[in-house]
């Protein structure tokens, strides 16, 4: 399973045929008065605002506020809305907490169900058949290919997302972060750690 570890690569560049078709459709819709250019730009800005940074902010708050953490674990969707994330129309969101005893891994074996409101667009590898099949059968091998494996004795729990329920991992707070504020803590939280294929970066590796 090859990732190249540039997990943010998205297919369809600015000059691709697909991009050209999208621009042509946008121009036609604007010309016919179906939408305005401003509405298109507003929608693009909204889509771009949905990113792993939202999930990272939720995690950082949970690491520093035990009451919020309890609410997040009890009802992830309600806690996300409370935090100002637009998740009203989203499926239920279940937050699963990593502990020294259990490490959680998220997958969607049927397609690519993903908590887009809190994590943005799913990476290409998350949607791949290889990840969707192997994450259930051999999760430790998959995580090794991302450069991480839970310690021996830590149980791996794999959670299968559906059309009605999405999952996000609440990773463990790295040691040596007692003096960091919420913004600094959020900067340690990687997208992979919110899916479970990795863990947050320690402070000395965030440069």
- Mean residue pLDDT of the chain comes to 85
Residue 136, domain member (yes or no): yes
Q: Do 35 and 95 share a domain, yes or no?
A: no
Cβ(92)–Cβ(164) below 8 Å: yes
% residues pLDDT > 70 (the chain): 77
DSSP per-residue string spanning 100-160: SSEEEEEE-SSS----HHHH-SPPHHHHSHHHHHHHHH-HHHHHHHTT--PPTTPEEEEEE
User: Residue 207: pLDDT band by 50, 70, 90 thresholds?
Assistant: very low
C-alpha span between 191 and 140 (Å, rounded): 18
> Residues marked as binding?
108, 111-113
Q: Do 92 and 36 share a domain, yes or no?
A: no
Question: pTM, whole model, 2 decimals?
Answer: 0.78
DSSP per-residue string spanning 42-67: HHHHHHHH-SHHHHHHHHHHHHH-HH
- Provide the annotated active-site residues: 108, 111-113
Cβ(57)–Cβ(186) below 8 Å: yes
- Higher pLDDT: 28 or 157? It is 157
> Residues marked as binding for Fe(3+)?
108, 111-113
Position 17 pLDDT exceeds 90 = no
User: What pLDDT is recorded for position 140?
Assistant: 98
Q: Do 23 and 76 share a domain, yes or no?
A: no
Instruction: Report the CATH number that the domain containing residue 118 is assigned in CATH.
Output: 3.90.330.10
């Amino acid at each position: 399973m090859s990732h190249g570890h540039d997990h943010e690569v998205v297919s369809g560049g600015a000059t691709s045929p697909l991009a050209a078709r999208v621009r042509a459709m946008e121009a036609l819709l604007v010309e016919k008065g179906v939408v305005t250019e401003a509405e298109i730009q507003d929608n693009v800005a909204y889509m771009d605002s949905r990113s792993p940074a939202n999930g990272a902010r939720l995690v950082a708050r949970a690491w520093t506020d035990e009451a919020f953490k309890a609410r997040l674990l009890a009802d992830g969707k309600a806690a996300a809305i409370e935090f100002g994330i637009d998740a009203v129309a989203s499926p239920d969101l279940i937050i699963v907490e990593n502990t020294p005893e259990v490490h959680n891994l998220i997958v969607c074996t049927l397609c690519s169900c993903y908590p887009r409101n809190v994590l943005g667009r799913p990476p290409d590898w998350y949607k791949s058949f290889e990840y969707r099949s192997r994450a259930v059968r051999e999760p430790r091998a998959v995580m090794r290919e991302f450069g991480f494996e839970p310690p021996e004795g830590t149980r791996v729990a794999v959670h299968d997302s559906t059309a009605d329920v999405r999952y996000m991992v609440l990773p463990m707070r790295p040691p040596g972060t007692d003096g960091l504020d919420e913004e600094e803590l959020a900067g340690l939280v990687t997208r992979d750690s919110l899916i479970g294929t990795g863990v947050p970066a320690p402070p000395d590796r965030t440069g």
